[in-house]
Amino acid sequence: MRRWVGIGEIQAGQRGDVLAAVLGSCVSTILWHAPSGKALMNHVLLPQRLVKRNDDEPGRYADESWQMMQRLLAREGMPLQECTCYVVGGGYGFEQGPQDVGGRNVAQVMALLQQARVQVDSCDVGGNWYRTVQFNLADGTLRIRRHKTARPRKPELARRQQGA
């Protein structure tokens, strides 16, 4: 069964499922536990919450989503150190100027994984495109398709970001 992972969601899948998402500047972390045939996939919008408040969408933020994923790993019987880890997304989905939300998302996700001593087995991040991602739990294959954005970044903006 195909399970679309929307912004702020975490989906658990099992053998036979396909976890999928469309990512621009958002980032997904996929944790696959091959022995059990289970996987988790999140879809984060921002690196962290800037204003602390209670709401029903903690999965939108990389730091809070990671905490939720760790609890789900334990509940699903998926030891973190036995999981294969993939990180995808963080592209320049739109002209972002100096904010570079995609880059900040990637940096936060990678820092969280490093703190947890998780080895990232495959990473497809950044770039001037959005991605469709499908993870097939039947055989553990990850399929990523890159799609050019409708409007490329302005050359002068790209030069400023590169320090030129």
Instruction: Answer yes or no: are the C-beta atoms of 18 and 41 closer than 8 Å.
Output: no
- Residue 32 three-state SS: strand
pLDDT in tens, 76-125: 999 999 999 999 999 975 555 667 899 999 999 999 999 999 999 999 99
pTM: 0.86
> CA nearest 20: which of 4, 37, 41?
4
162 pLDDT tier (thresholds 50, 70, 90): low
Task: Give dist(CA 4, CA 25) in Å, integer.
Answer: 17
Q: What is the CATH number of the domain that holds 115?
A: 3.30.1330.200
Domain tally, the chain: 1
What does the pLDDT look like over 43-77, one tens digit per residue?
Answer: 999 999 887 766 667 799 999 999 999 999 999 99
The predicted pLDDT at position 100 comes to 86
Residue 35 contacts residue 6 (beta carbons within 8 Å): no
CA distance 3 to 22: 12
The yes-or-no verdict on residue 12 having pLDDT over 60 is yes
| pLDDT value at 153 more than 90 | no
